[in-house]
Structure 1
Amino acid sequence: MHNAADGARHRLEVFVLPGIGEVRAGDDLAAIIAAAAGPAASRLADGDILAVTSKIVSKAEGRQVAASDREQAIADETVRVVATRAHPGGVTRIVENRQGLVMAAAGVDASNVEHGTVLLLPVDPDASARSLCAALRAATGLHLGVLITDTVGRPWRDGQTDIAIGAAGVAVLDDLRGTADAHGRRLDVTVAAVADEIAGATDLIKGKTSGNPVAVLRGLGHLVGAIDAGDRGARRLLRDSANDMFRVGSAEAYAEGYTAGLAAAAELAEPAAASAAASAGSDRAGTPAPAAQAGQLTVGAPSERADGLDVTSREVPAAEGAVGAPTESDNGPDVPSRGTASP
């Protein structure tokens, strides 16, 4: 039987808070948002989730810095380079930044800021969300949740969407493991990234140039809870390195694997060459061993190394030369040149 509670659970409402205006360093962002919510916060209700664009949080926190060289600002915010690609307009760098987020340009933003400056992400987006959420609850008397959002691209998909980079008073994951699907089958891996889904939904009406940096999503009040200073917030959405199957870009992974393969082949070739030379010297009447012919090294059958790397047999002509700088292949991506010195 359908009831009112079920109907509310299956209905969402998303709207912007107009009149935010330009935010500057030192501004009281909670007071600005509360004012936009109308007299006595008339536009808000218990259980509402506010999605706040990171740009205005960064501006209020004074994260706008002089940077005539945006590339240097990106480098300063970078902890780890994931992938780099050159293109006619410059170089795109996908990196892990100080906040632990993997995104293009470390999240450094040069749009909608004064000329000669760039905008960095909040130092600690979860801490910013907690402070903002507590202030808004105090100002409105309502049980609200806050997400700080930013725009990112995604692997395997064109276009950009918003994700949650900071969260307070709202669950960021909905763990469905242990429950059953519509056919009674147990769910073992399903954990919905609800904070990212909310961020994407609210971005549909915030837009990028409309001047509406705060949106409200209503209808998911069951996700709104206590503000816990010990909660990891949106950091719970970051996958740790041990479980990250795509820690580097495809070209970088290929280059790393190729380099490791060459090193493994060289290690296996050294004892083979020494054995072949000894055999040729002791058998004066015989012919040289195959490994000594034509200046080639023969790498034997697959061998399991101590580090777990298996190397398949192949012949490495000495004429190929030493390992050098990357070269462009006619049939695909740039790959490092390969080869080995003559035995």
Structure 2
Amino acid sequence: MELFAVPDLPEIRPDDDLAALIRQRVDLRPDDVVCVASTVVSKAEGRSADLADFPAGPRAREIAATLEQATGETKDPRFAQAVLEESVEILIESPFLLTETRFGHVGVNAGIDRSNVPDGDLLLLPKRPAESAARLRSGLAVDRVIVTDTCGRPFRHGQRGVAIGWDGLAPGRDWRGETDRDGRELGVAVENVADELAAAANLIAGEGDGGTPVVVVRDFEWGDHDESDAHFREIETDFVRQAIRDWSFDA
């Protein structure tokens, strides 16, 4: 398969027709997978905000004070308030905030970005990334769209691209029931294709000021495999999350 960035996209503003801006700059094929960074989706959807929009309540002030004590750095309780309002659960509150967003993604600070935000202090993730992906897919007239973000991983250094919303494809390629080279049946292998494509796109898009937030994946083939709709783990089977709930940071 081939991956390439959509060139010369302008700074995205609220209510911009992101799909039209992409179509003007690239000849898309119906079977392309278009990976779009959540930053530009959020900008088009007016998800930038100012810290003043989040007056800090008692819980936010408590969290900010705890973080200051743990890190030795000044923390704005208004930022903690923004994280609280964008989250349904705080999994870790020191030495950093690890939260679950309202659409199921677990990440640091509810995925709120403080870089590349010309119109405010903060950039929030799209409210419903799956719906964002569906709108883009319709506007782009392609079969598959993935909304991507970058986040860290437990047990490893560095960030990588992940899928937070998608439309037109299942997130998982299910190998269960197939066999390995020795004829043994596979029992647990479900490949998270949405995340893999998002990570591949992130290699092209980059992390800094490159201005290439949209990447086209061409000639990707699903193959003769079943699909899986599983992506975000359910709490009942997420044993790491269950363990984190009982853990506390000891400075």
Q: Same fold (TM over 0.5)?
A: yes
Kept after mapping to 1: 8 A contact 2:112/2:125: yes
The equivalent residue for 2:213 is: 213
> For 1:221 and 1:181, how far apart are their aligned partners in 2?
20
Deviation at 1:161, TM superposition (A): 0.5
SS of residue in 1 equivalent to 2:162: strand
The equivalent residue for 1:253 is: 246
Normalising by structure 1, what TM-score? Answer: 0.61
2:151 alignment partner AA:
V
Kept after mapping to 1: 8 A contact 2:89/2:99: yes
Counterpart check, 1:121 vs 2:114: no
Counterpart check, 1:152 vs 2:136: no
Q: What whole-Å deviation, never above 9, does each CA across 1:314-341 have from its counterpart, x for those lacking one?
A: xxxxxxxxxxxxxxxxxxx739xxxxxx
- Unpaired segments ≥5 residues, structure 1: 1-11, 87-91, 138-142, 224-231, 256-332, 336-343
Q: What whole-Å deviation, never above 9, does each CA across 1:264-307 have from its counterpart, x for those lacking one?
A: xxxxxxxxxxxxxxxxxxxxxxxxxxxxxxxxxxxxxxxxxxxx
Aligned with 1:84 (options 93, 108, 119): 93
Kept after mapping to 1: 8 A contact 2:103/2:127: yes
SS of residue in 2 equivalent to 1:246: helix
Counterpart check, 1:18 vs 2:18: no
Deviation at 1:253, TM superposition (A): 2.3
The equivalent residue for 1:164 is: 163
Kept after mapping to 2: 8 A contact 1:48/1:221: no
Deviation at 1:27, TM superposition (A): 0.4
The equivalent residue for 1:72 is: 81
Q: What whole-Å deviation, never above 9, does each CA across 1:88-139 have from its counterpart, x for those lacking one?
A: xxxx1001111211100001111101375211111110011011101111xx
Q: What whole-Å deviation, never above 9, does each CA across 1:178-203 have from its counterpart, x for those lacking one?
A: 00111111001100000000000110
Counterpart check, 1:48 vs 2:32: yes
Q: Which has the larger radius of gyration?
A: 1
Q: What whole-Å deviation, never above 9, does each CA across 1:75-97 have from its counterpart, x for those lacking one?
A: 211211111223xxxxx100111
Seen in structure 2, the aligned counterparts of structure 1 residues 249 and 162 have a Cα distance that, compared at 3 Å, is farther
Deviation at 1:170, TM superposition (A): 2.0
> For 2:182 and 2:140, how far apart are their aligned partners in 1?
42
1:111 alignment partner AA:
S
> For 1:47 and 1:254, how far apart are their aligned partners in 2?
45
> For 1:249 and 1:213, how far apart are their aligned partners in 2?
35
| Structure 1: 4+ residue segments shifted above 4 A | none
**Higher RCO, Cα 8 Å, sep 6+:** 2
Aligned with 1:28 (options 14, 17, 20): 17
Seen in structure 2, the aligned counterparts of structure 1 residues 222 and 115 have a Cα distance that, compared at 3 Å, is closer
The equivalent residue for 1:96 is: 100
> For 1:30 and 1:115, how far apart are their aligned partners in 2?
21
SS of residue in 1 equivalent to 2:239: coil
> For 1:16 and 1:24, how far apart are their aligned partners in 2?
20
Kept after mapping to 2: 8 A contact 1:83/1:248: no
Deviation at 1:74, TM superposition (A): 1.1
Deviation at 1:28, TM superposition (A): 0.5
Give RMSD over aligned pairs. Answer: 2.0
> For 2:87 and 2:129, how far apart are their aligned partners in 1?
16
Deviation at 1:172, TM superposition (A): 1.2
Matches within 5 A, 1:327-342: 334=250
> For 2:139 and 2:185, how far apart are their aligned partners in 1?
41
Deviation at 1:155, TM superposition (A): 1.1
- Unpaired segments ≥5 residues, structure 2: 53-77
> For 2:25 and 2:30, how far apart are their aligned partners in 1?
17
The equivalent residue for 2:135 is: 131
> For 1:102 and 1:67, how far apart are their aligned partners in 2?
22
Normalising by structure 2, what TM-score? Answer: 0.82
> For 2:182 and 2:33, how far apart are their aligned partners in 1?
32
Matches within 5 A, 1:193-232: 193-208=192-207, 209-222=209-222
1:211 alignment partner AA:
G
Identity %: 40
> For 2:194 and 2:164, how far apart are their aligned partners in 1?
9
